[in-house]
Amino acid sequence: MLLLHGFPEFWYSWRHQLREFKNEYRVVALDLRGYGETDAPFHRENYKLDCLITDIKDILDSLGYSKCVLIGHDWGGMIAWLIAICYPEMVMKLIVINFPHPNVFTEYILRHPAQLFKSSYYYFFQIPWFPEFMFSINDFKALKHLFTSHSTGIGRKGCQLTAEDLEAYIYIFSQPGALSGPINHYRNIFSCLPLKHHMVTTPTLLLWGEKDAFMEVEMAEVTKIYVKNYFRLTILSEASHWLQQEQPNIVNKLIWTFLKEETRKKD
């Protein structure tokens, strides 16, 4: 089981799932390229989507596996979708949390001002060095706000982010240069999408927090047209963008159900 985190997170965002699934799976939660203690190349070209996809393929190979259960959240969800599209033979089952199929995202954002506004940080991140500066000033106030505010934070109706949890995030992103790699992921996105070959043929579970401050829930509902196999969408009311941390018991139960049930291709 391979777990891909989002922004601005690292492997720690999967702490509840690592404990839950370790008895039946070899569970590996990665730090994506440029995050945490991974290599962080300086140039933005090193963070193109094809590089990120190849990273995951190479990691799976290095672990000695040809297939995996692939789970991705947020930006990690984007990568998970792309792996299922480009290397369907690698993915036994696909689970994505709060990120729609990439084609849905790019088409929806162009037609719906509300989503364009919610995704405005994608454009802000295109500016050199300034986003890193804004995240780091005032003792990483912006990063703390992202995780703890009423509008965007973790714990709206579920598990709160503890002081120790928040300290773990601040420690990781306060290391020298630790913000540039993660933000560089976004600095290539407009040159990479949309996709030409976009259908997913893997059994897929899409989990969604209804009160996601960054993603319109309608995108989740449209995603099913891009999955030419078993597809299940579960929307959790009153849940936020940070679903696997905020509602871990429910998320884990839904994942178990999906993993254990027989899934068959749609007619």
Sign of the Cα torsion 241, 244, 246, 247 reads: positive
Residue 72 in contact with residue 78, Cβ under 8 Å? yes
Classify strands 231-236 and 91-97 as parallel, antiparallel or unpaired: unpaired
Torsion of CA 254, 258, 259, 264, to 10 degrees: 180
Is 61 designated active site?
no
Which among 47, 108, 169, 186 is annotated as catalytic?
A: 186
Instruction: Report how far residue 49's alpha carbon sits from residue 78's, in angstroms, rounded to the nearest whole number.
Output: 9
Is 12 designated active site?
no
Instruction: Report how far residue 239's alpha carbon sits from residue 251's, in angstroms, rounded to the nearest whole number.
Output: 11
Is 74 designated active site?
yes
Tokens 């714990």 correspond to what residue? 155
Q: How far is CA 230 from CA 98, 132, 159, 238, in A?
A: 18, 41, 30, 26
Which among 74, 101, 212, 226 is annotated as catalytic?
A: 74
Instruction: Report how far residue 64's alpha carbon sits from residue 18's, in angstroms, rounded to the nearest whole number.
Output: 19
Active-site positions read 74, 186, 241
